[in-house]
Amino acid sequence: GDSVTQMEGPVTLSEEAFLTINCTYTATGYPSLFWYVQYPGEGLQLLLKATKADDKGSNKGFEATYRKETTSFHLEKGSVQVSDSAVYFCALLRDDKIIFGKGTRLHILP
């Protein structure tokens, strides 16, 4: 079945460091791909999305590119801030259902 695999956390970085959170997926066809972010004590917020191969989603300095050849959708940010500390979920939409990865907890140290 369809699935999403993301790197295990927690990931701890210093402020202004470069961030990559890896995400790969298994699915037939071309699902839509998403990154959601969950700040402490809150619900999920859609961070960015891509609906077809080679699309690049971007928001708040974060970027991810839909790579069909490597079935990947890695999340990147050039300079992280303390306020980026949160849990990040990679997800795909397939057959009318969202499938989430297990989440990656990100800690940014000042």
Partner 1 sequence: DTEVTQTPKHLVMGMTNKKSLKCEQHMGHRAMYWYKQKAKKPPELMFVYSYEKLSINESVPSRFSPECPNSSLLNLHLHALQPEDSALYLCASSQDYGQGGGYTFGSGTRLTVV
Binding site for partner 1 (CB under 8 A): 32, 34, 36, 42-46, 49, 51, 89, 93, 95-98, 100-103, 105
8 Å CB contact between 91 and 1: no
The DSSP bridge pattern shows strands 56-59 and 44-50 to be unpaired
Query: Least distance in Å: CB of 16 to partner 1?
Result: 27
Listed in sequence order, the DSSP H helices in the chain are none
- Nearer to partner 1 among residue 17 and residue 22 (C-beta): 22
Rounded-to-integer distance, Cα 42 and Cα 54, Å: 31
Q: How far is the CB of 98 from partner 1 (least distance, A)?
A: 7
Tell me whether residue 51 or residue 81 sits nearer to partner 1 (CB atom).
51
